Amino acid sequence: MSAPAASVPAGRALPFDDPRWSFSGPGTAPVRRAATLEVRAERGADLFAMPGFHEAAAVPSLSRPVSGDHTVWTRVAVTGGAFGDAGGIVVHGADGWFKVCVERTRAGGWAVVTVVSRPASDEAAGPALAGPAAELLVTREGGRHAVFCREDPAGAWRFVRTHLGPAGGGVRVGLFAQAPFSEACTAVFTGARLAPVALADRR
Give me the CATH number covering residue 173: 2.60.120.200
Q: 108-121: per-residue pLDDT in tens?
A: 999 999 999 988 89
Residue 120 is part of which domain span?
Answer: 2-195
Q: Is 203 domain-assigned? A: no
Q: 133-159: per-residue pLDDT in tens?
A: 999 999 999 989 999 999 999 899 999
- Mean pLDDT, range 66-82, rounded to an integer: 96
Q: Is 122 domain-assigned? A: yes
Q: Is 200 domain-assigned? A: no
Kindly report the backbone phi and psi dihedral angles of residue 65, in degrees, each rounded to the nearest multiple of 5, phi listed first: -75, 145
Residue 182 has pLDDT above 90, yes or no: yes
Kindly report the backbone phi and psi dihedral angles of residue 183, in degrees, each rounded to the nearest multiple of 5, phi listed first: -70, -35
What confidence category does residue 8 fall into, taking pLDDT thresholds of 50, 70 and 90? confident
What confidence category does residue 126 fall into, taking pLDDT thresholds of 50, 70 and 90? very high
Number of domains making up the chain: 1
How far, CA to CA in Å, does 122 sit from each of 105, 126, 137?
17, 13, 19
pTM of the model: 0.95
